Amino acid sequence: MSRKDIEDLQLRKLRWMVDYCYNNVPFYHERLGQAGITSGGKIKTLSDIQYIPCTTKDDIRDNYPFGLLAVPMKKIVRIHASSGTTGKPTVGAYTQEDLDVWSDLVARVAVAGGATEDDIFQISFGYGLFTGALGLHYGLEKIGATVIPASSGNTNKQLMMFRDFGVTGLVATPSYALYLGEMVRESGFPMSAYKLRLGLLGSEGCTNSMRTQIERSLNIFVTDNYGMTELTGPGVAGECELRQGLHFAEDHFLPEIIDKDTMEQKGPGEPGELVVTTLSRYGMPVLRYRTKDITSITYEPCACGRTHARMQKVMGRTDDMLIIKGVNVFPSQIESALVGMEGVGPHYQLVVRRRNFLDNLEVKVELLNADLLESYGALETLQRKIHDRLKSVLGLDTRVTLAEPKSLERFQGKAKRVLDLRNEPEEK
């Protein structure tokens, strides 16, 4: 579709969605009424979306579990939820129409990433309330691919299924894919025993450096995809084989980039916080959801031929950002600096402590070769090299600790890289 046709479609759907939310969701009836937007007819242009109040994660939690439903419960056929590790879980409720659209969206992402009906995909996400596993499951089945619902864990069995079932595609978090790559090298089987060729990875950030490491260790081509429970799940956006940004499903979602402090809208290519409005969701629609993800959007058509907007890889989350001695630090910056460095592995941990009323950052990095522990001079040289690289990237002095091989935690789901000890007693 041309840009004009896309925007015309979005405007029609946005007007419908405003009417739908105002008439069917008490929360939005009140919010929109307070803003003076009592019908979709008040929205004259797409830029008028700025007058609609934003929805936050707190709003969703305050209406837990079903306060944001737009349909009677008898119309809901599926419920998903986030882990709820920082409070009440975020609930997603789906009508049958929602599930049909969702599987279409994931099918798009899969095909854009190179998947075909001839592929055999092993889904190594944890099945359950998490949207990732079932989202990819139904999307891949829709294109005719074979799906193995392996779930996460039991890594030796995962590798056995890779070999015995002729698996060609992997669905997992980047962290678990990294771990699977380690285990493949140690499995005792040659790479010729594995037919893997594609990785549809998601659920957490994956820097280009980590992606390269995964591709080398598993001999696969990796694409990234984006989604969250509040919006539906995976399928909101995804990379094509050119990997020049994640194609946004603009006929079902309206993305904006805003300044997180002033709430002003940013221009094309300018980084800021991603805000998304669902345009086709019946069960639990959301208007202007603040994702807290920091990215940018370009509207130029991709060389692959797709014309939907492209979102750049998420740089970080506003709530993941660490402020160390006045410097804004994202874990992804540290990962990019570390992954691929000679002598160290891709696994790391960030430890934040408070000393003399200031936050201090320790970066724990895992050695690849235990023999290095026998040479103090070599250790000191490597430690200094890592320190200097981090300082050049962050503009900040960090404490670098070199850990023994395989001593840092591996993750089968989302990686938890930051250990926050700021509430612990200060070190002397």
| pLDDT for 238 | 97
Q: Give me the domain span that covers residue 379.
A: 322-420
DSSP strand pairing (169-172 vs 221-228)? unpaired
pLDDT at 172 exceeding the cut of 80: yes
- Cα–Cα dist 228/284, whole Å: 13
> Which of 195, 222, 241 finishes a domain?
241
Overall average pLDDT of the 147-152 stretch = 95
Q: What angle do CA 336, 339, 343 make, to 5 degrees?
A: 145
| pLDDT for 197 | 98
Q: Is the Cβ–Cβ distance between 205 and 313 less than 8 Å?
A: yes
387 φ, ψ to 5°?
-55, -45
pLDDT at 206 exceeding the cut of 70: yes
pLDDT at 215 exceeding the cut of 70: yes
Residue of 214, 207, 118, 232 whose CA lies nearest to 171:
214
| pLDDT for 64 | 94
> Which of 224, 241, 258 finishes a domain?
241
For residue 410, tell me if it sits in a domain: yes
Per the DSSP assignment, residues forming a β-bridge with 254 are 277
- Which residue would you say has higher pLDDT here, 219 or 357? 219
Q: What angle do CA 254, 256, 258 make, to 5 degrees?
A: 160
The residue type at 115:
A
Residue 370, SS3 per DSSP = helix
> What are the pLDDT digits (tens) for 274-329?
999 999 999 999 999 999 999 999 999 999 999 999 999 998 887 777 778 767 78
For residue 285, tell me if it sits in a domain: no
Burial (CB count within 10 angstroms: exposed 0-12, middle 13-18, buried 19+), residue 294:
buried
Handedness of CA 39, 44, 49, 50 (dihedral sign): negative
| pLDDT for 326 | 64
H helices of 25-130, where? 26-34, 57-62, 96-112
Q: Are residues 222 and 334 in the same domain?
A: no
Q: Are residues 100 and 230 in the same domain?
A: yes
For residue 170, tell me if it sits in a domain: yes
Count of structural domains within the chain: 2
Overall average pLDDT of the 44-53 stretch = 97
Q: Are residues 209 and 340 in the same domain?
A: no
Q: What angle do CA 236, 40, 57 make, to 5 degrees?
A: 45
pLDDT at 425 exceeding the cut of 70: no
Q: Are residues 117 and 236 in the same domain?
A: yes
Q: Are residues 227 and 107 in the same domain?
A: yes
16 secondary structure, DSSP code = H
pLDDT at 84 exceeding the cut of 70: no
The residue type at 119:
D
For residue 214, tell me if it sits in a domain: yes
Q: Are residues 100 and 225 in the same domain?
A: yes
pLDDT at 139 exceeding the cut of 80: yes
> Which of 223, 241, 259 finishes a domain?
241
> What are the pLDDT digits (tens) for 290-301?
999 999 999 999
- Cα–Cα dist 122/281, whole Å: 28
Overall average pLDDT of the 190-204 stretch = 95
> What are the pLDDT digits (tens) for 355-385?
766 688 999 999 988 888 888 888 999 999 9
Q: What is the mean pLDDT of the chain?
A: 92
- Cα–Cα dist 363/365, whole Å: 6
